Chains A and B, each alone.
Chain A
Amino acid sequence: MTEQLPAWSEPFADPKRALRRTLRLRGLTREWAWGGATGKGVRVGIIDSGLENAHPALRGRVVRNVTVDISGDEPEVVDDGAEDMFGHGTACGGIIVGLAPDVELVSIRVLGADLRGKGAAFAAGLEWAIEEGLEVCNLSLSSKSESLYPIFHDLADRAYFRNTALVSAANNVPAPSYPSLFSSVFSVAAHAEPDPQRLYYNPQPPVEFGAWGVDVPIAWKDGGSTVATGNSFAAPHVAGIVALILSKHPGLSPFEVKAILASVADNPGRRASRRHRGRS
């Protein structure tokens, strides 16, 4: 099974060749899906390195900061400072607010302190987000740990049944990683076209969506900014668009949102493919 998994962002490197679709859902438009939407009323959890609330890119949209304390017997979710250990969480939050300026961001910091129990902290943070009923969660990390497989599987199912959309950066290497490769999760890799709303649907999962993730201008630590490349900068673009859709159409289930994204994706269609063949 392992060798069938796609490498990094391969399908999105040449969409004309790899992502041509002759059949797709019809009748849905971007205008219907998120035209005029601002993300208002949607809470997006950032499971990452924390959020620097005062960073200008976050435009004051952070409503809560929590972290997972793993010093005791059981991981415990506690209040956290308004800081980011690496800058990465703030980068993701900035991308989401850039697309959906009225979302409410919730920082769930699972990185930065003790590495032991990292997987358990990640799972506890994700569980908290689902129990809180957050509409969208952006995940930049995944676990390869076999022992955590059933826990993440259960959490992915719970999120799905509670209408929490889990948007996860696909891992770089063609190997199993959880929860990014579970079918109910929005698994995202990077494409190189500099447009925050340019989306591709990959009909050959496990990586289902491609979004901008190359040379993306991002917010970084201590009020800074930089330019970055990685799947973990593609995922928040999808999270932001999902937040827009859910603010305009509250209560849609993850599978409905996925269907909308696939339907309005920028994959070349039948006509484009004909033109393409005509030229060659």
Chain B
Amino acid sequence: MDKETEAALAALVAAARRSGVGRRLQGDIETRLLQSIVDATVRLFDAEAASIALFEQDPDRLEFRVAAGEQGAGAIGLTVPPTQGIVGFVYSTGQALSLSDVANDPRFNRGAAEQTGYVPRSIAAAPLLSEEGTEGVLQVLDKRGSPTFSLQDMELLGVFAGQATVAIAAARVQRGTERLLRTALTQIGPDLADDDVERIVATATADLDVDDEAPFWRLVDQVARLRALSDREIALVTDVLDVVAQHASRARRSRPGR
């Protein structure tokens, strides 16, 4: 390996490590952002439920990650194939749409709805469209004030879907350091063969997460926990650490032979 490659790889390893640290420190920021979006959606629409499903691979599926509203809770964790239903259609085509009267039609495919324990009368769904394609779908069930969704509702839903997409992009570090590096490498070197990209990513991330108990990661996790504390709790921890430090130095001084 020549010097330049070595330096570049060292930089990548550093970037991977930073991203790993960032992920640990942030907590699951993506879920928190998406949750705040469905919370806002359900309130603004005055709807029974709002939820976001994200596309996951192996096997291909749309997985409901967050939900809000009185009838929303049952959706979390539910997965649906991207080849079926309204959510699947919106994901596949990137086209927002809404359907009404769905519960009145006995032939409507209600399998997924029934799994959540709630069969809606109307559904509006918009795709989460990012630069890299469709990330998932935002759906709203049953506006309380109206049996259907208006043009303005669909506009508004599109705005919320846009926010969710931005949130996902902003928290992309969350979706894995390897994906981050892969994207960066393909952008920097569009001529790089896929195999080369994979090899570089593997080398740069080899030391990450190999041992969750490694002292470095334990320290990072401790710092992450500290960040979640209130000012009073931090003051308390600082006091405790002071006492421990004083005790340790006294113990050192009194140790025989020093």
Contacts and interface: CB of A to CB of B under 8 A. Distances in A.
Interface string B91-132: 011111111111001011100000000000000101101010
Contacts of B158: 7-8, 172-173
Interface in A188-238: 190-192, 214-215, 220-233
A8 B153 CA distance: 11
A144 B83 contact: no
Nearest to A141: B93
A-side interface mostly = loop
B107 A192 contact: no
Contact of B150 (A145, A214, A220): A214
A230 B95 CA distance: 8
A175 to B, nearest CB: 7
Contacts of B193: none
B100 A8 contact: no
A8 B155 contact: yes
Contacts of A7: 155, 158
B45 interface: no
Contacts of B99: 220, 226-229
B210 interface: no
B107 A215 contact: no
A54 interface: no
Interface string B131-147: 10100000000000000
Nearest to A233: B97
Contacts of A118: 92
Interface stretch (A64-72, A109-117, A245-253, A269-277): A109-117
Contacts, number: 127
B97 A86 contact: no
Given A142-B94, A232-B97, A86 B88 contact: yes
A141 B102 CA distance: 23
Nearest to A213: B151
A13 interface: yes
B5 interface: no
A107 interface: no
A226 B108 CA distance: 9
A43 interface: no
B95 A232 contact: yes
B36 to A, nearest CB: 20
A140 B151 contact: no
Contacts of A9: 151, 154-155
Interface residues of B, number: 38
A138 interface: no
B105 A8 contact: no
Given A140-B93, A230-B97, A232-B97, A221 B154 contact: no
B31 interface: no
B60 interface: yes
Given A86-B88, A224-B105, A229 B148 contact: yes
Contact of A190 (B94, B129, B133, B151): B151
A49 interface: yes
A8 B148 contact: no
B74 interface: no
A228 B60 CA distance: 27
B107 to A, nearest CB: 4
Contact of A172 (B89, B108, B126): B126
A177 interface: yes
A223 to B, nearest CB: 6
Contact of B98 (A13, A112, A177, A228): A228
Interface in A1-39: 7-10, 12-13
B64 interface: no
Contacts of B155: 7-10, 13
B133 A172 contact: no
B152 interface: yes
Given A8-B155, A172-B129, A172-B158, 9 more contacts: A7-B158, A8-B158, A13-B152, A86-B85, A115-B82, A144-B94, A144-B129, A226-B102, A230-B98
Interface of B: 60, 82-85, 88-89, 92-102, 105, 107-109, 124, 126-127, 129, 131, 133, 148-152, 154-155, 158, 161-162
12 contacts: A13-B155, A111-B83, A169-B95, A172-B127, A173-B127, A192-B150, A223-B107, A226-B108, A229-B124, A229-B149, A229-B150, A229-B154
